[in-house]
Structure formats: C-alpha cells, structure tokens
Amino acid sequence: MSEFVDLYDRNRKFLNRVVDRNTYLFQPGEFMMYVLAILENEEGKFLVTQRALDKKWAAGGWEMPGGGAKSKESSLDAIKREVKEETGLDVINGHVVYSYFNEDQKRHDNYFVDIYHFRFDFQLSDVTLNTRESIDCRCVSLDELVAMNNEDEFLHFERIMKALQQKK
C-alpha cells in the first residue's frame, strides 16, 4: 500500500517532490518528517504504547505515540492525526520541544523528527487503542519510564529524555 510523503532538505525546506515512503530510496540531503508525542497527564504520568507485533520495525517495542507525516501535512497536523489515530485522544496545546535528524546513506533511511510535549487532563480509561498500531498502553512516571528502558530498550529513549529536559 502506498503512503506518500513530502521530501525536505536539511533546512526542512520542501523540495517540491512527493514520494512513496515504502519504495523510495532517500538520497543524501533528502528527508521525510516524523513526529512523536510526549503525552503527560495532570498527575505527571506519561502515556506509552506497545507496538503491534506485526510491525516491520521494532515490533512489540514500547514507545511514545507518533509516526510519519503524510504529504501536504504540517508537523502539527501530523502529530494531532497520529495521536488521534493511535490513542483516540485529541491534543491541542503542545509545542515542539526537541527535533533531530537521521541520515543513513547505507539504508537510505533519512528523516527528521519533531517531538511534541502535550500536558492535559486524561486518564488511561480515556485511551482507545488502534490495535493495528498498538497492543497495549500504560501511564507511567518518569522513574517507571527509565526502568522500562533499563529492562528492555524503550524506543527513542535518549531523544525523549533530551526533549523532557528542554525548558517548558
């Protein structure tokens, strides 16, 4: 199934090209956009999800909600859509707290990631998982998140920790 994404340069400038992310081999200096959401409730707990077991990459791994931006989608629109699709939650007042680039010329895996931080009133009972994306979820404290990573790698852990250290 085709999934079309926009191509950007290292300055995040749209290159006026749309490609199928599943078949295109990203060339040096070409990037697609990903987004991640740190969802923090009023108790200071973070929503984490466990990836479905049939995922091509990191099946069964624990992570924060997020994914790839579709063609013509802004970073903010992408994170709102991804959070809604994966958790059923609506997010409004968040902002990018950390961004990073990955350029892997050997695997043609080039992307940049915007990490958003949303603080709002939600409970685990408010979450409706999309089982094509995730098979489990939890609300965890920062200490529990660190423990999860120590037990078995939590996806994007170092970058999430950097994002949490940014000024709020």
Domains in the chain, number = 1
Region of 108 please: left (phi>0), alpha (psi -120 to 50) or beta. left
What CATH number did the domain enclosing 41 receive? 3.90.79.10
Which CA distances in Å does 64 have to 16, 40, 77? 30, 11, 17
Tokens of 49: 């999800």
Q: What distances in angstroms separate CA 63 from CA 13, 19, 36, 158, 166, one per listed residue?
A: 28, 26, 9, 12, 19
Q: How far apart are CA 24 and CA 50, in angstroms?
A: 27
Profile the chain (168 residues) by mean pLDDT over runs of 10 residues: 93 96 93 97 97 89 96 96 97 91 89 96 96 95 96 93 83
The Cα angle at residue 34 between residues 33 and 37, in degrees rounded to 5:
140
Domain residues for the domain of 16 are 4-164
Planar angle of CA 20, 62, 109, nearest 5 degrees: 30
pLDDT of residue 166: 83
Please tell me the predicted confidence (pLDDT) of residue 56: 82
Amino acid code (one letter) for 54: D
> What is the CB neighbour count within 10 angstroms for residue 163?
22
pTM: 0.93
